């Protein structure tokens, strides 16, 4: 319904489920993903015609095409409104997820429909990651409202993220190779004391390394299982620990 004096971005509710600014954002993201997919396919064709290896260009193009499909799927979801928001903004801060990209349920809108918000920074790869989660929610593969996900859903989202630039770096540690007491700074050993000091300063303990992804096939369940971050698990004033981000997922 159109009414006088309404700002342009607040009108035109037509059941396609991005509204206002998000409609434009989604369209732009869809266009960018499609364009880059075409570009990568063209590059792969060129290399193949010269008899050279195409590497993972086709897989990356496939993921970017899927990202465009994610947006189409969200648009087609009549029961949920999808939004993009800044992960460093006020809204994210109020939800206690400031600085962390996340796709979460943020209540209902005026029509009584669920609202799923994708919190990201301006990084395109990160946007594609959360867009994949939005797409997964619209297809019923995950549930962003009650935060039900799976390792394979995360593998897919990291593949989408990687596909934009063809590189990805992340902090990892294989839990089975370390003494948890030592790594979390909970015992009296020298290593443990050192790690407690580092964690209290917000730094990674000494066992954490950076893993460089240079091919899409390296994004596996084990890579996702080993991803870590330092945090207090949302407990205000709580001490920092090394957290395996996807430990609870199967």
Partner 1 sequence: MKTLLKYSIFSLFIFYGCSAIYNSSVYKGNYKGKDIIINFEDAKKGFMLVDTKDSIPFNYKIEKNKIDNVSSKKVITYVYRFTIDADYDLDFPLSLYEIGQKRGSVLQVNDSLTFVRQ
55 binds partner 1 (CB under 8 A): no
| CB closer to partner 1, 97 vs 186 | 186
- Intra-chain end-to-end CA distance of the chain, in Å: 44
Burial level of 77, CB count in 10 A (0-12/13-18/19+)?
Answer: buried
Q: Which of 79, 94, 165, 206 binds partner 1 (CB under 8 A)?
A: 206
202 binds partner 1 (CB under 8 A): no
Q: Which of 173, 224, 227, 230 binds partner 1 (CB under 8 A)?
A: 173
Smallest gap, in angstroms, from Cβ of residue 201 to partner 1? 7
143 binds partner 1 (CB under 8 A): no
33 binds partner 1 (CB under 8 A): no
| DSSP per position, 118-133 | EEE-S-HHHHHHHHHH
Is 33 in contact with 70 (CB distance < 8 Å)? no
Tokens of 5: 């004096």
Closest CA to 101 of 72, 82, 81, 128: 128
Smallest gap, in angstroms, from Cβ of residue 197 to partner 1? 3
207 binds partner 1 (CB under 8 A): yes
Q: Which of 24, 28, 31, 174 binds partner 1 (CB under 8 A)?
A: 174
Element (H, E) at 229: strand 228-231
Tokens of 101: 């990209």
Q: Which of 169, 180, 239, 247 binds partner 1 (CB under 8 A)?
A: 169
Smallest gap, in angstroms, from Cβ of residue 223 to partner 1? 6
Smallest gap, in angstroms, from Cβ of residue 198 to partner 1? 6
Per-position x/- string for 178-197, each x denoting binding to partner 1 as judged by CB under 8 A, each - no binding: xx--x-----xxxx-xx--x
Tell how strand 228-231 and strand 241-244 pair up. Answer: antiparallel
Residue showing tokens 């999808």: 82
Residue showing tokens 């190779």: 177
CA–CA distance, 221 with 205 (Å, rounded to integer): 23
CA–CA distance, 242 with 204 (Å, rounded to integer): 7
232 binds partner 1 (CB under 8 A): no
Q: Which of 213, 224, 228, 242 binds partner 1 (CB under 8 A)?
A: 213
Q: What residues make contact with partner 1 under the rule CB under 8 A?
A: 169, 173-174, 176-179, 182, 188-191, 193-194, 197-198, 200-201, 203-215, 218-219, 222-223
């Amino acid at each position: 319904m159109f009414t006088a004096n309404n700002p342009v971005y607040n009108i035109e509710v037509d059941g396609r489920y991005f509204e206002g600014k998000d409609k434009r954002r989604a369209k732009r993201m869809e266009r960018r993903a499609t364009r880059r997919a075409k570009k990568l396919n063209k590059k792969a064709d060129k290399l193949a015609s010269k008899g050279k290896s195409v590497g993972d260009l086709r897989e990356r193009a496939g993921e970017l095409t899927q990202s465009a499909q994610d947006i189409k799927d969200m648009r087609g979801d009549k029961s949920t409104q999808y939004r993009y928001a800044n992960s460093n903004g006020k809204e994210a801060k109020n939800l206690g997820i400031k600085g962390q990209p996340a796709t979460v349920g943020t209540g209902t809108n005026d029509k009584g429909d669920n609202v799923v918000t994708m919190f990201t920074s301006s990084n395109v790869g990160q946007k594609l990651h959360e867009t994949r989660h939005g797409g997964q929610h619209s297809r019923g593969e995950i549930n962003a409202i009650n935060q039900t996900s799976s390792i394979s859903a995360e593998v897919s989202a990291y593949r989408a993220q990687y596909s934009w630039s063809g590189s990805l770096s992340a902090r990892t540690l294989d839990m089975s190779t370390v003494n948890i007491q030592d790594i979390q700074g909970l015992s009296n050993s020298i290593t443990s004391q050192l790690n407690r000091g580092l964690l209290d300063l917000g730094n990674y303990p000494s066992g954490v390394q950076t893993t460089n992804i240079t091919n899409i096939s390296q994004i596996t369940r084990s890579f996702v299982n080993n991803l870590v971050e330092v945090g207090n698990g949302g407990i205000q004033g709580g001490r920092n620990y090394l957290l395996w981000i996807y430990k609870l997922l199967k």
